Amino acid sequence: MRCIRAVCLVLWAFAFTSTADNFKEQALRLMELTPLVDGHNDLPWQLKTSFNNQLNNVDLHTLDSTHTNIPKIKEGHLAAQFWAAYVPCTTQYKDAVRQTLEQIDLIHRMCHKYPEDFMFAVSSQDIRDAFDQNKTASLIGVEGGHSIDSSLSTLRTMYQLGVRYLTLTHSCNTPWADNWLVDTGSDPVEHNGLSDFGKRLILEMNRMGMLVDLAHVSVQVMDQVLSISKAPVIFSHSSAYSICKHKRNVPDDILLKVKENNGIVMVNFYNDYVTCSNTASLSDVADHFDHIKKVAGASIVGFGGDYDGVSRVPTGLEDVSKYPDLVAELLRRGWTEDEVRDALGRNLLRVFENVEAVRDAMSSTHPDDVPIPLEQVQNTCRTDFGYPDTNAAGTPLQNLSVLAMTLTLTSLLAKLM
């Protein structure tokens, strides 16, 4: 009897392993057909904090202190990556623009240093072209509206440098948008979502063809943008609130609005957003994929690992080499090949193409060049050139006041004489 039981266990283990291998092989085959596009990776920030952006002192083939390096990218079949040009909220009202430009420069230099592995990309077609060349399409997303210093001109300049999405806030309010911490009560509500300038900024992003990223914003901002935007939106690295009730995640009613908007939610792998605890597993991440698919369909889901931007990642998803294992898990759970291919990259490519189509349709619209009101951004680190000159000639009302005083004094002097 013991021998029979042992044989049965061996056969079961063989069958289980064989089935698992089949799902992995199927996953790899699908990833050869469809580019895996990930919405958010913070390797540039790791290079900033560890090497002060001295890329000459780093070899991305051998760097092993990060979730991401070139061998791991190849093993993970990562076909396209939005690299985050992130700088902390502590730079707001100080040197956020300079710091962000340095991160943009770093991403360009990564592509120049490793031309056999990375291809700089600014369009949906670039992603397809890089995939055909067996290179990782490298796109830029600016993580945090504080990086543009409330300037549409700065936003347009960053677009010209290759930035293709802006995360409207990080973990601080900007002068025109409320961040996700407002929903926890730890940050004050300042704008009831978006200010008038913030609403204009969304339309300007639509006009120029920049993806609007709603990761990190308050629910009210999510709702307003989904009503305002003429183009599909993205959540570059957020998960499902119903699975883990963390305010960085997306509630079900917003998921449904994302479906109406034809947008995408790219699932985050950070343990705290996956299970609302310090620990998580690959299976827990797959639960978020399942939930988003159940609520709004497989057409709005994607991958947004947040690698190198988080301190804890799930068991089984330790670094970027593990994507095929997650794809295999979705197949094991009954996802069809079409649904998997949509999640891998076809959803993001569709969103990107739609954003580009809106840009093209708005090509005759003039850029919005009305600056944010000075009183909304005035601080000791900001000059006010271009606004009514309050230091020299004075405002129009002040000029009238000075003229009236001059006439009065002239009249008095005439009487005295």
User: Helices (DSSP H) in 245-394: which residue ranges?
Assistant: 252-261, 271-274, 282-296, 323-332, 337-341, 347-361
Give the CA radius of gyration of the chain: 25
Q: Looking at 191, 216, 288, 291, which residue is catalytic? A: 216
Distance CA 329, CA 158 (A): 38
148 token code pair: 């543009």
Q: Looking at 117, 306, 308, 339, which residue is catalytic? A: 306
Q: Looking at 38, 117, 126, 143, which residue is catalytic? A: 143
Task: Estimate to the nearest angstrom the gap between the alpha carbon of 411 and the chain centroid.
Answer: 65
Instruction: Check if 112 is active-site.
Output: no
Residue with tokens 């690698």: 307
Helix (H, G, I), strand (E, B) or coil at 174: strand
Q: Looking at 237, 246, 288, 291, which residue is catalytic? A: 237
Q: Looking at 67, 77, 146, 170, which residue is catalytic? A: 170
Instruction: Check if 42 is active-site.
Output: yes
Distance CA 75, CA 57 (A): 24
Residue 193 amino acid letter: G
Instruction: Check if 213 is active-site.
Output: no
Q: Tell me the torsion sign for CA atoms 73, 76, 80, 82.
A: negative
> Can you state the angle between helices 282-296 and 252-261, rounded to 10 degrees?
60
| Secondary structure in 3-state letters for 20-81 | HHHHHHHHHHHHHHCCEEEEEECHHHHHHHHHCCCHHHCCCCCCCCCCCCHHHHHHCCEEEE
Contact indicator for 142, 364 with CB cutoff of 8 Å: no
Residue 146 amino acid letter: H
Distance CA 248, CA 217 (A): 8
How many helices (H) does the chain have, and how many strands (E)?
15, 9
Distance CA 323, CA 7 (A): 34
Distance CA 145, CA 350 (A): 25
Q: Looking at 38, 42, 117, 339, which residue is catalytic? A: 42
Residue whose C-alpha is closest to residue 163's, from 207, 216, 103: 103
Instruction: Check if 32 is active-site.
Output: no
Instruction: Check if 291 is active-site.
Output: no
Contacts of 95 (CB under 8 A, 6+ apart): none
| Number of neighbouring beta carbons within 10 Å of residue 124 | 21
Residue with tokens 């700065």: 154
Instruction: Check if 77 is active-site.
Output: no
Residues noted as catalytic: 40, 42, 143, 170, 216, 237, 306
